[in-house]
């Protein structure tokens, strides 16, 4: 017979301890240990059920995908929902996770597939009110308000759905465990049960996960390791635009993003995010320029804003929004050392308009030019796009997928594109677009600021 013992588990990282501790050694969190009863089963050896198979003898077939009728979501998933996959969707409260999944469930059900929407946070009437606002009326969509994983398993076998939505995993519990719903043991056990059902019955399953104040999915990291795909729904609650990003995907790329706009009737796709992000760009104002960044295979034009002002304190401030702070400080140092701009007594603020987060070095030259533009109070032409990575010696390095970036600028009506000289090789001529190759930051500043 199995023995039971009491252990203390950190609710943030899953660290186990035989006694209670105030600070977790695994994640340095305070007051996160909760006592849970753990069963120790005796180890027994049985006959081998699965024998090894030579890799050359394994036959594969193309996976069957369901289209969600949301091109942005299908792109992030890698082309649609794969049968038998387990997808974890995380995001801040009120960001629109339930809205997105309810719209997705309605679209999949409208194609003749049976969808089971399991809610542990809302009643059936509450979901119906939201469904009427979103115009979700499919006859193949079933709603189940339940938190007991045993009852959920029974209903799944009775309904036999093609797609399941669990909202949210933190509310699901197994009665056999003495720990509270949302604890490490309950979340891990519930996810394991859903994974077993998804793989055995070949049912695509979506799980909604809460996030912590740091922005990561609540619970142990093992939750993200168990699922096939992890999606993050990002954006500000007071901003209408949302970005869906994949951080793990066994069936597609993790570099793609989907852009949505929150409206009264639900989430609507933004097919041209570049136009949306540049809609409010001011003209003939210093400290503003347009750069092109790549999100997977999609080029996106964004506006970089910079502001420099004389500091009132001994230590000047450096603040960034949507950019890497250390990278921005590096670019300021290059301006001071290689160009001779005395920015050491100025506060510098850099912002990416629209709420996007950019980590690609191809935006370096645009950030550097916007800071120089604000410092010299010389505006950059609103018809110019700046692309390039900046090195510590002031050289402009080449970037990848330059042809897609240039054609995106052409499509939105820009007249000039400043690119690294290295990328000029092999680039086809683009009508109605002036290509200006630059080799160092002196040439770039001379071109965009006139010296």
Binding residue ranges for ATP: 91-98
Whole-angstrom Cα distance, residue 33 to residue 288? 49
- Reported as type and span, the H/E element at residue 289 is strand 288-295
Q: Is 147 exposed, middle or buried (0-12, 13-18, 19+ CB in 10 A)?
A: middle
Q: How many CB atoms lie within 10 A of CB 43?
A: 5
Task: Give the C-alpha distances (Å, rounded to integers) separating 442 from 102, 393, 423.
Answer: 53, 11, 18
Contact 187, 169 (CB under 8 A): yes
CA-to-CA dists, residue 291 to 77, 356, 372, 383, angstroms: 27, 13, 15, 11
**Residue that the structure tokens 């059936």 belong to:** 124
Angle at 191 between CA 188 and CA 194, to 5 degrees: 150
413 vs 127: CA distance, rounded Å: 44
Report d(CA 89, CA 171) in Å as an integer. Answer: 15
- SS3 at position 393: coil
CB 178 within 8 A of CB 209: no
CB 221 within 8 A of CB 13: yes
Q: How far apart are CA 292 and CA 274, in angstroms?
A: 9
Summarize the annotated binding site as residue ranges.
91-98
Place of tokens 């635009």: 241
- Contact, 98 vs 167, CB < 8 A? yes
Token pair in block for residue 300: 């996106």
Number of C-beta neighbours around residue 289 at 10 A = 30
Look up tokens 């289209």; give the residue: 67
The token duo for 77 is: 């998933």
- Secondary structure (3-state) at 65: strand
Question: In angstroms, how far apart are the furthest CA atoms of the chain?
Answer: 82
d(CA 254, CA 273): 18
């Amino acid at each position: 017979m199995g023995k039971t013992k009491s252990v203390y588990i950190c609710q943030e990282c899953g660290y186990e301890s035989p006694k209670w501790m105030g600070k977790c050694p695994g994640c340095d969190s305070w007051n996160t240990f909760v006592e849970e009863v753990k069963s120790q089963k005796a180890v027994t050896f049985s006959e081998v059920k699965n024998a090894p198979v030579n890799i050359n003898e394994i036959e594969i077939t193309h996976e069957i995908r369901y289209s969600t009728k949301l091109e942005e979501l299908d792109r992030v998933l890698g082309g649609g929902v794969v049968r038998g996959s387990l997808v974890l969707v995380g995001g801040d409260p009120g960001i629109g996770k339930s809205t997105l999944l309810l719209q997705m469930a309605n679209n999949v059900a409208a194609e003749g597939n049976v969808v089971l929407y399991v809610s542990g946070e809302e009643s059936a009437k509450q979901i119906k009110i939201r469904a009427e606002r979103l115009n979700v009326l499919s006859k193949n969509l079933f709603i189940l308000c339940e938190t007991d994983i045993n009852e959920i398993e029974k209903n799944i076998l009775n309904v036999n759905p093609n797609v399941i939505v669990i909202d949210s995993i933190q509310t699901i519990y197994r009665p056999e465990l003495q720990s509270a719903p949302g604890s490490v043991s309950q979340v891990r056990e519930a996810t394991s049960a859903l994974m077993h059902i998804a793989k055995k019955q070949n049912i695509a399953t979506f799980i909604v996960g809460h996030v912590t104040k740091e922005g990561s999915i609540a619970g142990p990291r093992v939750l993200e390791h168990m699922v096939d795909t992890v999606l993050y729904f990002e954006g500000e609650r007071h901003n209408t635009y949302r970005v869906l990003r994949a951080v793990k995907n066994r069936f597609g790329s993790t570099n793609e993003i989907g852009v949505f706009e929150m409206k009264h009737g639900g989430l609507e796709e933004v097919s041209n995010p570049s136009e949306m992000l540049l809609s409010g760009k001011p003209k003939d104002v210093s400290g503003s320029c347009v750069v092109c960044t790549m999100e997977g295979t999609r080029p996106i034009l964004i506006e970089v804003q910079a502001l420099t002002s004389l500091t009132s304190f001994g230590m000047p401030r450096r603040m960034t929004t949507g950019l890497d702070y250390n990278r921005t400080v590096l670019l300021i140092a290059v301006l001071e050392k290689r160009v001779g701009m005395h920015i050491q007594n100025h506060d510098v603020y850099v912002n990416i308009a629209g709420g996007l987060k950019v980590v690609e070095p191809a935006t370096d030259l645009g950030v550097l030019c916007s800071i120089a533009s604000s410092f010299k109070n010389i505006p950059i032409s609103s018809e110019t796009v700046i692309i390039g990575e900046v090195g510590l010696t002031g050289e402009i390095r080449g970037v990848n997928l330059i042809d897609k970036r240039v054609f995106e600028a052409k499509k939105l009506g820009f007249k000039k594109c400043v690119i690294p000289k290295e990328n000029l090789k092999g680039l086809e001529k683009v009508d109605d677009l002036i290509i200006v190759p630059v080799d160092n930051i002196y040439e770039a500043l001379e071109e965009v600021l006139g010296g």
